[in-house]
Structure 1
Amino acid sequence: MYNIIVYGATSGGVAAAVQAARLGRKVLLIANTSHIGGMTSSGLGATDINNRKGIGGIAREFYRNIYRHYADASNWTRQSPEAYDELLGTRFWLGRDEELKIRWMFEPKVASETYENMLLEAGVEVVRNERLALEDAVVKKDGRIISIKMESGKVYEAELFIDTGYEGDLMALAGITYVTGREANSKYGELTNGVFDNGPLEGGGVSAYQVNNDPASGLLPYVLPECPGEKGESDHRVQAYCYRFTLSSDPDNQLPIEKPADYNPLIHELLARRFEANPKLTLDDILTLTPIPNRKTDTNHVDFVGASYSYADGDYETRERTEAEHRAFTLGTLWFLANDERVPQQVREDMNKWGLAADEFTDNGGFPVQIYVREGRRMVSDYVMTELSVKQRSAPESVGLGTYYFDSHYVSHYAKDGQVHLEGTFWEDDELLYPVSYQSIRPKREECSNLLLPVTLSSSHAAYGSIRMEPVYMVLGQSAAIAASLCLELGVAVQDLPYGVLREKLLEAGQILDAEPLL
C-alpha cells in the first residue's frame, strides 16, 4: 500500500513524485515506457517559458540544475558557450537568466539525467513499462479509488492518486467527466474556442486534390472536404501533434537522413505544392530549428495536421498506430526536404547539413520516444479555466501561474474552391501571467474524492492553449503532491482541503501564486 501513486512520468509526474517523497510519503511513480520526463526530456529543449519569475518550486529547481550543468565547461563538448550564445542570439533571452541562475535551453539527454537524479535523490520508487489495463482497471469504493490494475496484471493500492499523463487515462477509467476537442465559443463566453478559419494555405494556389486541380482524383490525405463548421462551433478535433526531434550539425554526431521503409510520397505532396506556390520558401520557413547546446536543435513544426484526432480517446493500438504514422511522417519529411527534386536546391543543401543527433535517444535510433500530445482529454470540474480566466488573470485558489501566450497549432486542412485552406490556429502574444485554480485540478465531489489531475486539468480548449506548457505542468504537479499530502494528513477529501492551509504550504515550498507583483 502506497500513500500516493503518481500515474504518468511526464514532467508534471516527476515533480509530483519528488515532492511527495520529500514530504515523507511512500510514493510510486508509474511510467508507461522506460522514458522519464515527458516532452521536457523528449526533444522539447527550447522551453516555452515567458515570464520566468512566475515559475517557482521544483520547476525552478530543475532549471537551476540545468544551469549548473552548463556552467561546467566540460559539458560543452561540441561548441563553446560563447559560440552557442552567438548562434542563439537574443531569442529566448539567451536561454538563461543570470539573476535566477536558471537555463531553459538544453539537450534532451541532460533533461533525462537531471530528472533521474532528482528522483533518485528523493528516493522515489519508479515502475517502468506499465500501462493501465483498459478493462476493470480502477476499483472504487464510496467514491474513492482503492486500487489500479496494469496490463501486466499487477495491482497497486494507494490512499491517493495523481494522474499526470498527457492522455488522462486514469481520469477516464475512474469515471471522471472530461471533454476532448473544442467547445463552442458560446459555452464559456469565449472568442478563440471552436472552429477558427485561417484562410488559404500559402495565400492560395495549392490544389486540394491528389492530381493537381483534378477533383476526380480525390482529396489529398488528411484534407477535409469542407470547413469543419461555422466560426466558434464545437467539434471533436484537437490541434496537430508532432515529434520534437533533435538534429545535429556536427558530422561526427550525425545519423544519416534515410528514406523510411514506409515512405508515402502522397503524404508529402502538400509540402511539394507549397514550394511550387512559393519557391522562395527556405528551410527555416518549414522547420523551426531552435539551437540548443552542442550544435543541436529542438526541431518544431513538423505538424501532422489532421492525424491526431483519434489519439486521446483511442485504445493503445490506436495510439501506437498514430505514433507510428507521425514518426513516418516526420522522418519522411526530412528525407523529402533533403532529396526531392521539387524542393528548391538551396533548401535541399541546407537540409543535408543536418542529421539526427547520434548521442540522443540512443535506444530508439536517435528518435524521441514521446509524441507531443499538445492536448488530449481535459477534465470538466466545478471550475473550468477559460479564456476569461486567463485574460482577466482571475481564478480562485491559485496553485501556480500560467505564463504563456494563447497558442493553438492548426487543427484542420480543408478544401474550398478546390484549394487547401487552414483552420484552427490562434496566436496572441499579449503578456500573460495568471493563476491556475486548485478547483481545476481536482474532480467534482460526486465523481472521486482522492484523485488530482494537474496535467489534464479542467480547462477549455482556448485556455489550455496557454496553460499546456511543460514548466506549468511541473508547477501544478508539485502543488498536487502538496495537496495530496495535506489531504492525507488532515484526513479529508481533495474537495475539502482548506485552501488557506494549502496556500501556506505551497508558499513554503517556493511556489509563485500571485501574478500582480510580477507584472
Structure 2
Amino acid sequence: MKNFLISLLFLIPGVLPAQPVYDVVVYGGTPAGVMAAIQVARMGQTVALLEPGRHLGGIMVEGLGGTDIDNHQEFQNSPAVGGLALEFYRRIAKAYGRSDEFEQVLRSKAKKPDIWRFEPHVAEQILLDWVAEHKIGIAYESRLLEMKDAVLKKGTAIQQIKLENGQTYRAKVFIDATIEGDLLNAAGISTVIGRESNATYGEAKNGIQAVTDHAQFLVKVDPYRVMGDPTSGVIPTIQNEPLGTPGDGDQHLQAYCFRMCLTKNPTNRIPFPKPEVYQREQYEIYLRYLKAGGKLYRPRVDIPNGKTDLGAWHDLSHNLYGMNMAYPGGNYATRQTVLAQHRQFTQGLFYFLANDEEVGRLAPDLQKEWTLWGLSKDEFTDNGGWPRLFYVRDARRMVSDYVITEHHVRKGNPPPVPDPVAVAYWPPDIHSVRRIVKDGYAYNEGSVFRDNTWQPFGISYRALIPKASECTNLLTASCPSSSHIAYGAIRIEFTFMALGQACGTAAVLANQKRVTVQAVNQKELKDKLLADGQLLSLNN
C-alpha cells in the first residue's frame, strides 16, 4: 500500500512525496536502473527511480535495438541472458507476437539474432508498463545538483541527495545506475576516466595501442588541409597529436555516436534534414576516402518493421574519435555542448551523403541508397525523429578494493571469482579513441575487438561496491570497478540489466539485515539471485 500511494504522487505533475525515507533510491533510468528498481519492488521494499532526462531505458530507447545478442558468427552469448534481462526479452517477443518462437529458441538453444531485436519505442513502452505493474515511483528531469553539498553523508553513509529541481531524496541504500557515474563522483567515491597504462594492472591491451588493426582505414587517406603538406594542418575529424608511447595511459575514451533508427518506408520517413549550421568542409575526409577507392557504409534493415539500428563500427562512419573527451567529467552544460556537436556533425553527414553533388559523382550508388532512407516519424517523436541521447560507451568507472581487469577476461588461467552476481559474455570491445596521423595517413588508434584470447567470466559482487572507507550504502550497476579494457567486456545492455538486478537484490538484503553493502551475506545473495533466474555462471 505504501508503494502504491507513493506511485500515485509521482503521477501528479509537480507533486512529490514530502521527503520520505525510501528503502532504496535508484539514480538513473538506464536498463540497469529499471531492473534494480523492479527487483527492489518485487522484494517488497520502497523504491524511487530518479531519471535525469525524460525517458526510461537509456540507449535501448534511443536507437540501440540490436543489443549484441548472438550477432557474431564466432560465439553465441544468449546462454548468458537470465533473470530480469530474459524477462525483458520475453516481453519484447510477446510485443511482436513471437512468444512461441522465442521459447522454442530457448529450448533448442538456437542462434537467432533477430528474435532479440526491437524498435526503440516498443522497448520504452515495455519498460513503462513493467514499472507501472510494480507501482514504482518515477521522477523525471531529476538531475543531481551541481554543488558540493548535493550528497549529504554521515560518516560513510549517504543520508540524502539534492536535485536541481529542489527535491531532496533520502534512502537507506542508493544505487548509481548512470553511465556517467555522477552519484559516485558526488559521493566522494574513487573513479577513473580514460585508459590506464598496461603497467597499472599488468595488462597487455590497455593504454595506447602500438598497432590498431580492427576498424582501421581500408584505404590511404591524406590527412592534411593541403594534401601532402604537413605544415598546413589537418582536416576535420583528425587530431594533430603524436601516437605516444604504446602501453601508456591517457584520458581518451572510445568514441561516442548516435544509434540511428532509420526507415525506407515512404509513409514513415522524414528526409534527412539539413542542420541549421551546415559546414560542408567538415566532411572532406569522406570525399578523400571515396576518391581513394573506399566504400562508405550505408543503412540496412536490422531491427523490426524495416528499420535500422545504424551504429558506427566502420573505419569511417559517424564515430567521432577524440571528440568526446570533455564529456565524461564535464558539467551538464559541457556535456550538452558535446552532445550538440555530435548531433550537428551527424545530421550534416547524413545530409551530405544523401545530397552532395560531389558524392553523387564519386559514388552514385551510395548516394542513391542514402536518399531512400530517412528518420522514422514514429520514433523519438518529441525530438523530430532524432535520438535524444548518443551512445556513451564508457565514462567514469569506479575504483574499489577489487578491480576487474584483462586477466579476468583472458583465456587460460583467469583469477577465480568466488562471488559472481552475473556473467559477462562479450569480448573486450573497445572502439578507437583517436584519429591521428601515422606514416603520413589518417589512422584510427585504440580499437580492440577480434581475437580468440577472451572468454566469458563471472562478475564479482565486490566490483559493484565502493571501498568501505568511502561509502557503505551505495552500489553501482553501470560503473563497476574495472579497467578500461575489462569494461569493454561488461558494457552490454543485458549485462547491465543483470547487474541492476544484482544491485537491487543486495540493497534489499542489506536493509533487511541492517548491514552495510560490503557486509551483505554472499550465500544469501547468491541463493536469491539463483532463485530469481539470474545466471551466475554458464553452468547454472
Q: TM-score by structure 2 length?
A: 0.88
Structure 1, 190-199 or 35-44: larger mean CA deviation? 190-199
Residue 152 (structure 1) shift: 1.5
Residue number in structure 2 paired with 1:175: 188
- Alignment partners' CA distance in 2, 1:195 and 1:342: 36
Among 170, 175, 184, the alignment partner of 1:157 is 170
- Alignment partners' CA distance in 2, 1:152 and 1:212: 52
Report the RMSD for the aligned CA atoms in angstroms: 1.9
Question: What residue ranges of structure 1 are gaps of 5+ in the alignment?
Answer: 74-80, 82-91, 97-102
Residue number in structure 2 paired with 1:329: 345
Among 381, 385, 401, the alignment partner of 1:382 is 401
Among 10, 15, 29, the alignment partner of 2:49 is 29
- Alignment partners' CA distance in 2, 1:117 and 1:483: 24
Alpha-carbon deviations, 1:351-372, whole Å to 9, x = none? 1111111110101100111210
Residue number in structure 1 paired with 2:10: none
Residue number in structure 1 paired with 2:302: 291
Residues 334-413 of structure 1: matches in 2 within 5 Å? 334-343=350-359, 344-392=363-411, 394-413=416-435
Alpha-carbon deviations, 1:395-450, whole Å to 9, x = none? 33101000112211111011234321110001135473210010001000000000
- Alignment partners' CA distance in 1, 2:212 and 2:293: 18
Residue number in structure 2 paired with 1:95: 113
Alpha-carbon deviations, 1:82-109, whole Å to 9, x = none? xxxxxxxxxx94325xxxxxx3111001
Residue 341 (structure 1) shift: 2.9
Corresponding residue pairs, total: 490
- Secondary structure of the 1:183 match is coil
- Secondary structure of the 1:426 match is coil
Structure 1 residues 439, 353: CA separation in 2 closer, same or farther (over 3 Å shift)? Answer: same
- Alignment partners' CA distance in 2, 1:72 and 1:12: 25
Residue number in structure 2 paired with 1:86: none
1:483 maps to 2:506: yes
Residue 53 (structure 1) shift: 1.5
Greater strand fraction, Structure 1 or Structure 2: 1
Among 235, 242, 250, the alignment partner of 2:257 is 242
Percent identical among aligned pairs is 41
C-alpha contact 1:441 1:452 (8 A) present in aligned 2 = yes
Structure 1 residues 292, 429: CA separation in 2 closer, same or farther (over 3 Å shift)? Answer: farther
C-alpha contact 2:217 2:444 (8 A) present in aligned 1 = no
C-alpha contact 2:428 2:449 (8 A) present in aligned 1 = yes
Residue number in structure 1 paired with 2:536: 513
Residue 288 (structure 1) shift: 5.9
Structure 1 residues 160, 265: CA separation in 2 closer, same or farther (over 3 Å shift)? Answer: same
Structure 1 residues 499, 287: CA separation in 2 closer, same or farther (over 3 Å shift)? Answer: farther
Residue 217 (structure 1) shift: 2.9
Report the residue type matching 2:212 in the other structure: N
C-alpha contact 2:299 2:370 (8 A) present in aligned 1 = no
Report the residue type matching 2:384 in the other structure: G
Residue 203 (structure 1) shift: 4.6
Report the residue type matching 2:248 in the other structure: E
Among 227, 231, 245, the alignment partner of 2:246 is 231
Residue number in structure 2 paired with 1:269: 284
C-alpha contact 1:202 1:278 (8 A) present in aligned 2 = no
- Secondary structure of the 1:356 match is strand
Among 170, 183, 187, the alignment partner of 2:200 is 187
1:258 maps to 2:273: yes
Report the residue type matching 2:234 in the other structure: L
- Alignment partners' CA distance in 1, 2:451 and 2:35: 28
C-alpha contact 2:299 2:373 (8 A) present in aligned 1 = no
Residue number in structure 2 paired with 1:99: none
- Alignment partners' CA distance in 1, 2:461 and 2:240: 42
Residue 218 (structure 1) shift: 1.8
1:118 maps to 2:130: yes
- Alignment partners' CA distance in 1, 2:516 and 2:343: 42
Residue 130 (structure 1) shift: 1.3
Residue 72 (structure 1) shift: 6.4
